[in-house]
Amino acid sequence: MLEAVNISKEFPGVKALRQVNLKFYPGKVNAVLGENGAGKSTLLKILTGVYTQYDGEIILKNEGVRFRNVKEAQNAGIAIIHQELNLIPELSITENLFLGRELLTSVGFLDEKKMDEKARELLEKLQLDAAPRSLVKQLKVGEQQLVEIAKALLVNAEIIMMDEPTSAITDKEIDNLHRIVRGLKEEGKTIVYISHKMNELFRIADYYTVMRDGCSVAEGEMSQTTEQELIEQMVGRQVLISKKEAGSTSEETVLKIKNLNLRHPSVKHRKLLTDISLELKKGEILGIFGLMGAGRTELLETIFGMNPSSSEGSVEINGKEKHLKTPKEAIRSGLAFLTEDRKNEGLVLGMDITSNISLNASPGNDFINPSKEKSLARAYIQQLGIKTPSENQYCKNLSGGNQQKVILSKWLAIHPEILMLDEPTRGIDINAKNEIYELVKKLAADQMSILLVSSEIPEILTLSDRILVMAEGQIKASFSASEATEDKLLKAALPH
């Protein structure tokens, strides 16, 4: 049995886990539920030796353990299968299985025969119909998952953790996976199963733990609970920050999207977005809620001209049909896009605040005007309350909240008509969060139109005039601010 006792974990400015207590039982499928950001991933990373700095204790078979690295967790019999599979596509199944623990012949060469034999044994057990020598990239996602499970079996893992194992596979593959999971369970293995899919959890899981805001809030037998009860436990009753006042929006449509479709870049016939239609009014904040992988980011990227060759549909800005092929054209049409990943897509970390803010504020200007840039940077530092010794500070030295404010400044400096925000407050502390909420409300009051994508329900409820819910690349529901509740949003967002 694996047990977490009073586990707490803090990141700079954020308490990710607070006194988490939970138990995973052998011979059972243990489900972990929770919204995005509830702390599930952080907990898994601690249990598998990725994070080594934490408070509290892990108890494995009645003994306290503290993993110093991933290897130690593996040696203790804990295997994890990530949502993003950890295989090397250009290597064969056998090579992947034995990576880092290759079998050798007596003279020290690779014992390929023995490894292939062992691999074949495992593949048979998992009923995976593929040759040990076939390359992993030739397998379907569901089959690759089985290879991951084979990897766990190869090292005789007692505890197998699966993070969203069914997010990318077909119904048939899900059935197959569940059959295998049941088999492993009967062998006495401990299965930890993380998923958002309620009906699936009721089919496969025996025991559940609900996490919320970094705490474990409920646990029990799966057979003793209902979907409604679980959802209530997941959202809890959180106190809202002052909600946006309604009624400041006009009737003028700024952005109109009709039947937007986006094809998967590599998988044929798979769509990332299906028939998305929406309208954004002047001065409106339109919230788009959805769980991870629902297609929210892809929607914003497509509007911003980043997928011109794989998307179809009509985008109208101020009544004019636009075919945006690059971010540059999107920006010229009055769009701005604050991306989800501020370090990789938002900031040039090695440049100072001034340069980042004026990076796209000077199209058409060939020469840099240092005094103008400086006053621009200073104005935004003051207006948004960016905490920094000077405008010449490198962005890599700023905290997450302040980095986010610099990116916001960068976009505000070009005075966009439509501001698209993708997870604008991810990973930043509560104060900066509130400041950004106030700013967004003020921008909308000044007639800027805002598309707000978030996986945090309170954030969506606090800011939005209207809320769309996305799941599996489609818009599943639409709510006005007054009728939306946490339960309704989450229920609509859960895939079925």
Residues that bind other proteins (CB under 8 A): 304, 306, 326-328, 330-332, 337, 339, 344-351, 355, 359-360, 362-363, 365-368, 410
Asked whether the beta carbons of 373 and 354 are under 8 A apart, the reply is: yes
Identity of the residue, 161 or 324, whose beta carbon is nearer to other proteins in the bound complex:
324
Instruction: Provide the terminal-to-terminal Cα distance of the chain, rounded to the nearest Å.
Output: 31
| Least distance (Å) between residue 350 CB and other proteins | 5
Whether the CB-CB separation of 468 and 290 falls below 8 Å is answered with: no
Nearer to other proteins by Cβ, of 204 and 418: the residue is 418
Nearest Cα to Cα of residue 201 among 423, 395, 31, 438: 31
Q: Which is nearer to other proteins, 247 or 363 (CB)?
A: 363
Contacts of the segment 404-408: beta carbons below 8 A, 24+ positions apart: 404/338, 404/342, 404/346, 404/428, 404/432, 404/436, 405/380, 405/432, 405/435, 405/436, 406/347, 406/353, 406/356, 406/357, 406/380, 407/338, 407/342, 407/346, 407/347, 407/356, 408/338, 408/384, 408/436, 408/439
Least distance to other proteins, CB of residue 363, Å: 7
Q: Report the Cα 458 to chain-centroid distance in Å.
A: 17
Which residue, 128 or 331, has its beta carbon nearer to other proteins?
331
Nearer to other proteins, 179 or 325 (CB): 325
Smallest separation, CB 129 to other proteins (Å): 36
Closer residue to other proteins, CB minimum distance, 157 or 428:
428
CA-angle at 45, arms to 42 and 47, nearest 5°: 110
Least distance (Å) between residue 301 CB and other proteins: 9
The smaller minimum CB distance to other proteins, of residues 197 and 332, is found at: 332
In the complex, least distance from residue 359 CB atom to other proteins, rounded to whole angstroms: 5
Judged by phi (left if over 0) then psi (alpha if -120 to 50, else beta), residue 27 lies in: left
Burial level of 431, CB count in 10 A (0-12/13-18/19+)?
exposed
Min separation Cβ 343 and other proteins, Å: 8
* CA-based nearest residue to 355, from 402, 392, 404, 382: 392
> What's the closest the beta carbon of residue 310 comes to other proteins, in angstroms?
17
If the CB atoms of residues 109 and 367 are measured against other proteins, the closer one turns out to be: 367
CB of 36 to other proteins, least distance (A): 23
Edge-to-edge strands, sheet with 215-221? 78-81, 159-163, 190-194, 29-33, 207-212, 215-221
